[in-house]
Amino acid sequence: MSLISPACRDALQHWLGGQKSLNGVAENTLLAYQGDLGEFLSFMSLHKGGPQGLGALENITVSDMRSWMAQMRGSGVAARSLARKLSAVKGFCRWLSEREGLEMTAVLSMRAPKFQRKLPRPLAEDAAQSMIETVELQSASNWVSARDVAVVTLLYGCGLRISEALGLTWAETPLPKVLRIVGKGGKERIVPVLPAAREAVNIYTRLCPHEYDPDALLFRGVRGRPLNARSIQMVMAKARMQLGLPATATPHAMRHSFATHLLAAGGDLRAIQELLGHASLSTTQAYTAVDTAHLMEVYNRTHPKA
């Protein structure tokens, strides 16, 4: 950050603070923004021959932006990652334009590089069920097995993110028929809870040896601390090896499976968007591509003319 002028450094910290307090941006995302923008501002300082004040940012040209993007690609940054970096740069510069009255058309008009969006990798319905059953076998402790099953069932049965499942508190038990979940960006949504998920959590709470505390997080580690997402990732990794499933069979894949299986059963795309807490319908539309890809695979494999 030594190449960045004090004014730019202060503005960056101010913007990051706003992203956290006003937009509820997650800590990991803020760190990514800080790194991306630090790289960008440092590059512009070197490119222009010295630290650039806020006013000098107005002089960034399309050619300067292309040089930055070329340097990123030349250093091995993939198109998808560069698109993310450009998005952060635009967000910061858009804020600067509004706050300082700067004209930053060259930055804001840049187009992100094209890249092939990765489709979600859901599990087949029988594989999702087998995953839950196999997760239960990974621990000799009944309460730990019940805990792992409860978490994975919430991911698949309710479409929760792992952070959302691990963010539940004891005060929310026994689970109601619907949960109020606060997801990314502080976006709130209502999620129906299947009987199987409620029962899995009930079994866990009956077996859990740790003291009930309404304000404490529901899922605990062996020593009583809040359960870490890494523990669920590891137990699923063991289960998928036993089942012969690919490395993409992760906790997030259970959420993907929830959405894909709902869509395949005739679920409404808008309703699924609400259940997942996606801010944009285009994010949810990725699941239609998965469903279409599966349909074409079945068609090519079974059609008599194939």
- 278 belongs to the catalytic site: yes
Candidate list 85, 198, 240, 255, residue with the active-site label: 255
94 flagged as catalytic? no
Residue with tokens 């539940």: 168
Are the C-beta atoms of 186 and 24 separated by less than 8 Å? yes
Structure tokens belonging to residue 134:
């196999």
Q: What are phi and psi of 250, to 5 degrees?
A: -110, 175
Adjacent-strand bridge partners of 182: 188
- Determine which one of 33, 156, 204, 287 is catalytic: 287
Query: Which of 33, 85, 147, 161 is labelled catalytic?
Result: 161
CA atoms within 13 A on the CB side of 114: 0
Buried b (16+ CB within 10 A) or exposed e, 187-218: eebebebeeebbebbebbbeebeeeeeeeeeb
Please pick, among 184, 189, 210, 238, the residue that the annotation labels catalytic.
Answer: 184
CB 240 within 8 A of CB 179: no
Active site residue 252: yes
Residue of 90, 210, 252, 294 marked active site: 252
Residues identified as active-site = 161, 184, 252, 255, 278, 287
